[in-house]
Amino acid sequence: MRPGDRRKVERKLAYLRGMTAAHVSRGRVSAIKSVICAVAERIGDKEPPGATTVSGWARDLDTADGHVGVLVDGNAIRKRSRRLSAEMERLVTAVLARVYLNRDRNSLTFTLAVIRSEASKEVEAGRMPARDATVSHATLCRRVAALDRHRVLQARFGPARARMVCRTSMDGAAAEYPLQRVEVDHTPLNWVLICERTGLPLGRPTLTVLIDAYSGYVLGFYISFYGAGLTSVCGALQSAIRPKGDTTSALSLAKAWPAEGIPDALWIDNGLEFHSPVFQLIGWDLGMSLTYCRVRTPWLKPHVERFFSTLDTLTLAKGRIHKRMANVVETDPNVGAAVMFGDFVRGIAQFVVEVYPFQINQRKLARPFDLFTEGIERRPPVHFPPDIDALRRISAMRRVLTVGPGGVELHGLPFGGPELLDMRRRYGKSFKTLVKWDPDDLSHAWIQDPETKEFVVSPCRWHHYAHGLSWNQHLLIRRFAREELKASGAIEYLEQARLRLHSHWMESVAWKTRVDRKRAAITAGYTSARVLTGSEPQETAGVQAPPCVVAPAVAPLCQEEFETIDL
């Protein structure tokens, strides 16, 4: 009800209550006039109603059994008729559908101009009277406001925008106990960090985090420069599942970090790393279900999005990346960077354990730490066995490779030793099997027995190179070495040498008859004396030696002596 209509109802009720207080029935006209004068003076009504009018109000209220709705003015609830003619209504509807409701996003002013132009043509053709060919901007705005909002947004901006603006979550992100629903996502951090070894800026790291939807508590995180990939997801998953007593002690954190256990379900987006077969196999091994959220629906993972927004409240100003603004000169974050990578990770851990879980949720009026601790006491999660190597193996990357005489080769890294002798004897010199490796440590790999399905730990034979080496570091080193070889001309030299060798074989078999071969030998001057004395035959004027290209010496990447193992 509009404010003006409400004031009219209150005015009528004031006179009717005055009649009730004075014990005046609606048939006593003279008594009603006295009540009207008293009430009008009290409420300051300069134009009081007549006695008959007030008596009619009382009759309507008695007939409706005291329902105040009968006192509402009929103009407030009547359905207003449209003043446009039927021909003009059809024209407005057609132009709105053709000009306004499309991806060109034309304005209402332009749409109104098109309507008036087409209406004038209709008038000239005699199909519409001139008095009906007018429409105002306010009328056109009311026509658009009466349309379905979702349809308008979908026609002008697309279904994704319409779904986001007209969304309703309906409490779809709720969980009944801790770790029932865990949200996973990545985000680039807005700080430039410094290398602890060289002191040079490294760039913006990527944060991968797992958050419990029941309490909003952070279960684990992983910070790296690998980007949003499978390595980051595996690292964050290991951090969330394993106990963190040693971590809190090593970092001297003031609060405990009780988050551990296997989630029941992961709510993830449609990144390639989440759709990879390796990640799906990890989910099967851990007994987790995977739920893929629809594209451009961040409200399906509200807790992790909320956590990302709170990261901007950190007071670390050095090396911070700000959003570009007009007429604002910002400091280069690479120049102002002053935080080492290790110190930044420890600061994020302190924020996750000591600050964020103790912020009061204004909707739940509770802290994430209290909700999580009370929830795991009521319903403890599934804990992983206290075997960190087993957890690393389950959440490791995997691939089916061939075990040959030299063991297993994983992107140039040799794995294998005496531990593979038994499988070599039972399955032959070469067989295929599943191989797993930790993306953060390539010092060893796990090789599965094809029959018993048990894993054997096989160290890398390049132990000096692979100790503490991550998978992404190894790929980057190989890419760098490949570029170095290409820059030094080694690849071009090899291709030219292969072509020269091919030309040599073609020339060697190009002679058609024995006479031709003999004549070529005589021309070349081949004799035993020249061979025994070591002198080369003299070239004739008609025979030219092929060009000789000397390859530049390429320094070996790694000059290590490796142990030879007889398998």
For tokens 């009780």, name the residue. 258
Nearest to 283 by CA among 243, 233, 228: 233
Query: Between residues 369 and 80, which one has the greater pLDDT?
Result: 369
Nearest to 227 by CA among 205, 201, 195, 200: 205
For tokens 């420069």, name the residue. 225
Q: How far apart are CA 452 and CA 446, in angstroms?
A: 14
CATH number where 201 lies:
3.30.420.10
Average pLDDT score over residue span 435-455: 93
φ/ψ (deg, to 5) at 47: -125, 75
CB-based contact 217:260 (threshold 8 Å): no
How crowded is residue 258: how many other Cβ atoms within 10 Å of its Cβ?
A: 19
The verdict on 46 and 126 lying in the same domain is no
The verdict on 413 and 360 lying in the same domain is no
The verdict on 15 and 139 lying in the same domain is no
Strands 182-188 and 265-268: parallel
Query: Between residues 72 and 356, which one has the greater pLDDT?
Result: 356
Strands 218-224 and 265-268: unpaired
- Bridge partners of residue 433, in order along the sequence: 401
Query: Between residues 206 and 72, which one has the greater pLDDT?
Result: 206
Q: What per-residue confidence (pLDDT) applies to 512? A: 54
Does residue 531 lie in a domain region?
no
Q: What is the tally of structural domains in the chain?
A: 4
What are the E-state strand segments in 197-272?
201-203, 206-212, 218-224, 265-268
Mean pLDDT of the residues in the chain: 85
φ/ψ (deg, to 5) at 201: -65, 135
Q: How far apart are CA 227 and CA 475, in angstroms?
A: 14
Q: What per-residue confidence (pLDDT) applies to 395? A: 81
Banded model confidence at residue 483, pLDDT cuts 50, 70, 90: confident
Checking if the pLDDT of 377 tops 90, the result is yes
The verdict on 232 and 371 lying in the same domain is yes
Q: How far apart are CA 112 and CA 512, in angstroms?
A: 89
Does residue 527 lie in a domain region?
no
Helix/strand/coil (H/E/C) assignment for every residue in 457-489: EEEECCHHHHCCCCHHHHHHHHHHHHHHHHHCC
For tokens 């446009």, name the residue. 84
Q: What per-residue confidence (pLDDT) applies to 515? A: 58
Checking if the pLDDT of 503 tops 90, the result is no
Q: How far apart are CA 246 and CA 227, in angstroms?
A: 27
Helix/strand/coil (H/E/C) assignment for every residue in 56-112: HHHHHHHHCCCCHHHHCCHHHHCCCCCCCCHHHHHHHHHHHHHHHCCCCCCCHHHHH
Checking if the pLDDT of 534 tops 80, the result is no
Q: What per-residue confidence (pLDDT) applies to 173? A: 62
Query: Between residues 491 and 152, which one has the greater pLDDT?
Result: 152
Measured over the CA atoms of residue 521, residue 525, residue 527 and residue 531, the dihedral's sign is: negative
φ/ψ (deg, to 5) at 177: -155, 165
The verdict on 194 and 276 lying in the same domain is yes
Joined tokens for residue 538:
């003299």
The verdict on 198 and 332 lying in the same domain is yes
How crowded is residue 168: how many other Cβ atoms within 10 Å of its Cβ?
A: 7
Does residue 352 lie in a domain region?
yes
Does residue 525 lie in a domain region?
no
Q: What per-residue confidence (pLDDT) applies to 565? A: 46
Q: Largest Cα–Cα distance in the chain?
A: 155
How crowded is residue 127: how many other Cβ atoms within 10 Å of its Cβ?
A: 9
Does residue 534 lie in a domain region?
no
The verdict on 91 and 73 lying in the same domain is no
Q: Considering the entire predicted model, what is its pTM?
A: 0.66
End of a domain among 15, 50, 77?
77
Joined tokens for residue 17:
């209550």
CB within 8 Å of 268: residues ≥ 6 apart: 183, 184, 185, 274, 290, 291, 292, 293
pLDDT digits (tens, 9 = 90+) for 247-295: 999 999 999 999 999 999 999 999 999 999 889 988 998 889 999 998 8
Buried (b) or exposed (e) across 349-382, using 16+ Cβ within 10 A?
bbbbbeebbeeeeeeeeebbbbbbbebbeeeebe
The verdict on 15 and 138 lying in the same domain is no
Joined tokens for residue 276:
């990879």
Checking if the pLDDT of 561 tops 50, the result is no
pLDDT digits (tens, 9 = 90+) for 50-77: 999 999 999 998 898 888 888 888 777 7
The verdict on 321 and 274 lying in the same domain is yes
The verdict on 57 and 192 lying in the same domain is no
Query: Between residues 172 and 348, which one has the greater pLDDT?
Result: 348
Checking if the pLDDT of 557 tops 50, the result is no
Q: What per-residue confidence (pLDDT) applies to 274? A: 94
Does residue 507 lie in a domain region?
no
φ/ψ (deg, to 5) at 531: -70, -45
Q: What per-residue confidence (pLDDT) applies to 510? A: 60
Q: Where is average pLDDT lowest: 82-96, 379-393, 455-469, 538-552?
A: 538-552
End of a domain among 46, 77, 108?
77
Residue 54: domain span: 3-77
Checking if the pLDDT of 538 tops 60, the result is no
The verdict on 72 and 94 lying in the same domain is no
What angle in degrees, to the nearest 10, is found between the helix axes of 137-145 and 108-125? 110
Does residue 56 lie in a domain region?
yes
CB within 8 Å of 382: residues ≥ 6 apart: 179, 261, 262, 287
Residue type, 239: S
CB-based contact 61:70 (threshold 8 Å): yes
Q: Using the 8-state DSSP alphabet, how is residue 352 labeled?
A: I
pLDDT digits (tens, 9 = 90+) for 507-530: 766 655 655 655 556 555 555 555
Long-range pairs for 495-500: beta carbons < 8 A, 24 or more residues apart: 496/549, 497/549, 497/551, 500/546
Query: Between residues 147 and 394, which one has the greater pLDDT?
Result: 147
Query: Between residues 92 and 523, which one has the greater pLDDT?
Result: 92
Query: Between residues 451 and 386, which one has the greater pLDDT?
Result: 451
Q: What per-residue confidence (pLDDT) applies to 541? A: 43
The verdict on 253 and 349 lying in the same domain is yes
φ/ψ (deg, to 5) at 251: -90, 0
Strand (E) or helix (H) holding 270? none
CB within 8 Å of 338: residues ≥ 6 apart: 194, 318, 319
Residue type, 312: D
End of a domain among 451, 482, 513?
482
Nearest 10 degrees: CA dihedral of 479, 481, 486, 492? Answer: -120
Does residue 391 lie in a domain region?
no
